Amino acid sequence: MAKTRRKTRKKTRKRRIRNRKTLWWNLTESRIES
């Protein structure tokens, strides 16, 4: 169980970083478009 819990935690962490990157990219794209 501990192992599974760890995996889920890691996945969430990675997802968070991915979302952050997407947000950053969207911001940059909007700036370039403007």
Res 3: pLDDT? 65
Cα–Cα dist 3/10, whole Å: 11
pLDDT tens readout for residues 1-34: 566 666 666 666 666 777 777 777 787 777 776 6
Number of structural domains found in the chain:
1
Per-residue exposure over 5-30, b if at least 16 CB sit within 10 Å of its own CB, e if not: eeeeeeeeeeeeeeeeeeeeeeeeee
- Structural domain containing residue 31: 1-34
